[in-house]
Amino acid sequence: MRNRRKRPNRKGASIVEFAMLSPILVLLILGTIDLGQYINVSQAVSNASREGALVAARYETTSSSQVDSAVRNYMTGVYPGAAQAMMGDALQISTSGGDGGSIGDVDAGDSVSVTVSVNYDSIRWLSGLGFLGGKTLSSQTIMRKE
């Protein structure tokens, strides 16, 4: 007969290891989700800025309220669940003409600028993770008026 060594009893060792590592794994997964959403919101703010600049560059646009409405409609379409929060102070839209004046004073061929800023905390799903908290995402688009 072979001489067999008796193995130590390791029942429950894997449960203890899992219990020690699972919080780290959960934080890693939630952090990845939050970072992905941050990138998504950043892209949406950039697209909203472009949408506003397209409206501002049209020859029939005479006021910044038309641009404001286009940007808010775009962001509401992208984030319908966060629409009420974004209609308040979370979404900031500024529009200016070629020399910093209003949209109505811009002549054809001059540039118009639309800047959109949003507070990330008002849109994010996971508010408990602090490393992206308090961030403001901003994007500016400049186009020439038709």
Domain contains 1? no
pLDDT tens sequence for the chain (146 residues) = 566 677 777 778 888 988 999 999 998 998 888 888 889 989 999 999 999 999 888 877 777 888 888 888 888 888 777 666 566 667 888 887 765 566 767 777 788 888 999 888 877 777 767 777 788 899 999 888 87
For 31, other C-beta atoms within 10 Å of its C-beta total 14
| Phi (first) and psi of residue 139, to 5 degrees | -145, 140
Domain contains 72? yes
Q: Percent of the chain beyond pLDDT 90? A: 18
Domain contains 83? yes
Pull the structure tokens for residue 14.
């894997």
Q: Cα dihedral angle (118, 134, 35, 30), rounded to 10 degrees?
A: -130
β-pair partners for 123: none
Rounded to an integer, what distance in angstroms lies between the CA atom of residue 111 and that of residue 97? 6
Residues in the chain: 146
Rounded to an integer, what distance in angstroms lies between the CA atom of residue 59 and that of residue 69? 17
- CA-wise closest residue to 78 among 103, 107, 111, 41: 41
Q: How many domains is the chain built from? A: 1
Pull the structure tokens for residue 81.
């669940």
Pull the structure tokens for residue 101.
């004046």
DSSP code of residue 31 = H
Domain contains 3? no
3-state secondary structure of 79: coil
What domain range is 76 assigned to? 13-144
Task: Note the pTM of the prediction, 2 decimals.
Answer: 0.77
Domain contains 71? yes
Domain contains 67? yes
Rounded to an integer, what distance in angstroms lies between the CA atom of residue 112 and that of residue 131? 35
Decide: 118 and 136 in contact? Cβ < 8 Å.
yes
For 104, other C-beta atoms within 10 Å of its C-beta total 10
